[in-house]
Amino acid sequence: MSVVVLNRSFRRRDTHELRLIRNVWPIINLCNVLTHIIDESSPLYHLSTSDLLSGDLFFVVLFTGQDGIISDTMVARKAYHACDILVDHYFEDNITLTADGLYIDLDAINATYCVSEAGSQSDEVENQEYRSSCSSIELKATEYMSEASKADSPHSRYALM
Protein backbone atom coordinates (compact mmCIF):
# COMPACT_ATOMS: atom_id res chain seq x y z
CA MET A 1 0.00 0.00 0.00
CA SER A 2 1.24 3.47 -0.73
CA VAL A 3 0.23 7.02 0.07
CA VAL A 4 0.37 9.69 -2.60
CA VAL A 5 1.11 13.26 -1.49
CA LEU A 6 0.10 16.03 -3.89
CA ASN A 7 2.63 18.85 -3.84
CA ARG A 8 0.60 21.68 -5.40
CA SER A 9 3.41 24.23 -5.36
CA PHE A 10 5.65 22.00 -7.53
CA ARG A 11 2.74 20.29 -9.37
CA ARG A 12 3.96 16.80 -8.63
CA ARG A 13 2.98 13.71 -6.69
CA ASP A 14 5.24 11.98 -4.19
CA THR A 15 4.53 8.30 -3.55
CA HIS A 16 5.57 6.66 -0.27
CA GLU A 17 5.26 2.95 0.46
CA LEU A 18 3.44 2.02 3.68
CA ARG A 19 4.51 -1.06 5.61
CA LEU A 20 1.57 -3.21 6.59
CA ILE A 21 1.22 -5.56 9.56
CA ARG A 22 0.37 -8.30 7.09
CA ASN A 23 0.99 -7.78 3.40
CA VAL A 24 0.55 -11.35 2.09
CA TRP A 25 -2.62 -13.47 2.21
CA PRO A 26 -2.51 -17.05 0.93
CA ILE A 27 -6.25 -17.06 0.17
CA ILE A 28 -8.56 -14.06 -0.09
CA ASN A 29 -12.12 -15.28 0.47
CA LEU A 30 -13.41 -12.61 2.83
CA CYS A 31 -12.68 -8.95 3.43
CA ASN A 32 -9.35 -8.03 4.94
CA VAL A 33 -8.32 -5.06 7.03
CA LEU A 34 -5.10 -3.38 5.98
CA THR A 35 -3.26 -2.12 9.05
CA HIS A 36 -0.36 0.31 9.03
CA ILE A 37 1.20 1.39 12.32
CA ILE A 38 2.09 5.07 12.37
CA ASP A 39 5.46 5.19 14.14
CA GLU A 40 8.74 7.08 13.59
CA SER A 41 9.50 5.13 10.39
CA SER A 42 6.09 5.84 8.84
CA PRO A 43 5.74 8.57 6.19
CA LEU A 44 2.49 9.55 7.98
CA TYR A 45 4.22 10.13 11.33
CA HIS A 46 4.53 13.92 10.99
CA LEU A 47 1.00 14.45 9.69
CA SER A 48 -1.86 15.59 11.88
CA THR A 49 -5.45 14.43 11.52
CA SER A 50 -6.33 17.68 9.75
CA ASP A 51 -3.45 17.06 7.32
CA LEU A 52 -4.84 13.61 6.52
CA LEU A 53 -8.33 15.05 5.97
CA SER A 54 -7.14 18.04 3.92
CA GLY A 55 -7.52 16.32 0.57
CA ASP A 56 -3.83 16.58 -0.34
CA LEU A 57 -3.32 12.88 0.39
CA PHE A 58 -4.86 9.76 -0.99
CA PHE A 59 -4.08 6.10 -0.48
CA VAL A 60 -3.62 3.66 -3.34
CA VAL A 61 -4.09 -0.04 -2.62
CA LEU A 62 -2.86 -2.45 -5.28
CA PHE A 63 -3.64 -6.15 -4.97
CA THR A 64 -1.93 -8.75 -7.13
CA GLY A 65 -2.64 -12.44 -7.03
CA GLN A 66 -2.92 -15.54 -9.12
CA ASP A 67 -6.24 -16.93 -10.30
CA GLY A 68 -6.53 -20.57 -9.27
CA ILE A 69 -8.54 -21.63 -12.32
CA ILE A 70 -6.74 -20.04 -15.25
CA SER A 71 -3.38 -19.44 -13.50
CA ASP A 72 -3.28 -15.84 -14.64
CA THR A 73 -2.07 -12.88 -12.62
CA MET A 74 -4.95 -10.70 -11.48
CA VAL A 75 -4.54 -7.07 -10.43
CA ALA A 76 -6.98 -4.83 -8.57
CA ARG A 77 -6.43 -1.18 -7.65
CA LYS A 78 -8.43 1.05 -5.32
CA ALA A 79 -7.80 4.65 -4.34
CA TYR A 80 -9.02 6.04 -1.03
CA HIS A 81 -9.40 9.80 -0.59
CA ALA A 82 -9.87 12.09 2.41
CA CYS A 83 -13.63 11.47 2.38
CA ASP A 84 -12.94 7.76 2.98
CA ILE A 85 -10.94 8.33 6.19
CA LEU A 86 -12.88 7.79 9.41
CA VAL A 87 -11.26 9.21 12.54
CA ASP A 88 -11.84 7.43 15.87
CA HIS A 89 -14.00 4.74 14.25
CA TYR A 90 -13.89 1.00 14.81
CA PHE A 91 -15.59 -1.83 12.97
CA GLU A 92 -18.72 -3.19 14.62
CA ASP A 93 -18.60 -6.77 15.78
CA ASN A 94 -20.67 -8.73 13.29
CA ILE A 95 -19.80 -12.25 14.45
CA THR A 96 -21.91 -13.97 17.10
CA LEU A 97 -20.99 -17.28 18.69
CA THR A 98 -23.98 -19.20 20.04
CA ALA A 99 -24.65 -22.79 21.05
CA ASP A 100 -26.07 -23.34 17.54
CA GLY A 101 -22.94 -22.16 15.79
CA LEU A 102 -21.20 -19.08 14.49
CA TYR A 103 -23.35 -16.36 12.90
CA ILE A 104 -21.98 -13.68 10.59
CA ASP A 105 -24.13 -10.60 9.93
CA LEU A 106 -23.09 -9.49 6.44
CA ASP A 107 -25.27 -6.36 6.67
CA ALA A 108 -22.85 -5.05 9.30
CA ILE A 109 -19.64 -6.08 7.54
CA ASN A 110 -18.71 -2.45 6.76
CA ALA A 111 -20.46 -0.87 9.74
CA THR A 112 -18.38 1.29 12.05
CA TYR A 113 -19.00 3.18 15.25
CA CYS A 114 -17.35 6.32 16.55
CA VAL A 115 -15.61 6.36 19.92
CA SER A 116 -14.67 10.03 19.79
CA GLU A 117 -15.43 12.05 22.89
CA ALA A 118 -15.84 15.19 20.79
CA GLY A 119 -19.31 16.64 20.53
CA SER A 120 -21.66 15.63 17.77
CA GLN A 121 -21.46 19.14 16.34
CA SER A 122 -17.75 18.76 15.50
CA ASP A 123 -18.50 15.32 14.04
CA GLU A 124 -21.10 16.94 11.78
CA VAL A 125 -18.56 19.55 10.62
CA GLU A 126 -16.06 16.81 9.80
CA ASN A 127 -18.79 14.87 7.99
CA GLN A 128 -19.57 17.95 5.86
CA GLU A 129 -15.86 18.27 5.04
CA TYR A 130 -15.79 14.62 3.94
CA ARG A 131 -18.86 15.10 1.79
CA SER A 132 -17.49 18.24 0.14
CA SER A 133 -14.33 16.41 -0.91
CA CYS A 134 -16.18 13.38 -2.32
CA SER A 135 -17.41 13.14 -5.87
CA SER A 136 -21.15 12.90 -6.49
CA ILE A 137 -20.80 9.26 -7.58
CA GLU A 138 -19.03 8.37 -4.32
CA LEU A 139 -21.74 10.19 -2.34
CA LYS A 140 -24.55 8.35 -4.13
CA ALA A 141 -22.80 5.04 -3.48
CA THR A 142 -22.35 5.93 0.20
CA GLU A 143 -25.99 7.00 0.54
CA TYR A 144 -27.15 3.82 -1.21
CA MET A 145 -25.03 1.65 1.09
CA SER A 146 -26.33 3.42 4.20
CA GLU A 147 -29.94 2.97 3.02
CA ALA A 148 -29.28 -0.66 2.12
CA SER A 149 -27.79 -1.31 5.55
CA LYS A 150 -31.03 -0.09 7.18
CA ALA A 151 -33.06 -2.74 5.40
CA ASP A 152 -33.26 -6.05 7.21
CA SER A 153 -32.22 -8.61 4.62
CA PRO A 154 -32.99 -12.27 5.39
CA HIS A 155 -30.17 -13.32 3.05
CA SER A 156 -27.45 -11.46 4.92
CA ARG A 157 -27.11 -13.70 7.97
CA TYR A 158 -25.15 -16.85 7.40
CA ALA A 159 -24.52 -19.59 9.90
CA LEU A 160 -21.32 -21.58 9.98
CA MET A 161 -21.63 -24.91 11.74
- The CATH code of the domain that includes 74 is 2.60.40.1400
- Mean pLDDT along residues 142-152: 46
Domain that holds residue 141: 86-161
Q: What is the mean pLDDT of residues 102-109?
A: 86
Do 94 and 78 belong together in one domain? no
pLDDT tens sequence across 72-85: 888 888 888 888 88
Question: How many domains, in total, are found in the chain?
Answer: 2
160 and 90, same structural domain? yes
137 shares a domain with 69: no
- Same structural domain for residues 75 and 11? yes
pLDDT score at 29: 60
Split at pLDDT 50, 70, 90, the class of 137 is very low
pTM beyond cutoff 0.75: no
On whether both 96 and 109 belong to a single domain, the answer is yes
What is the per-residue pLDDT across 25-46, written as a single tens digit (0 to 9) for each? 666 666 667 777 888 888 888 8
* Dihedral Cα 160, 93, 86, 110, nearest 10 deg: 30
Residues 90 and 139 in one domain: yes
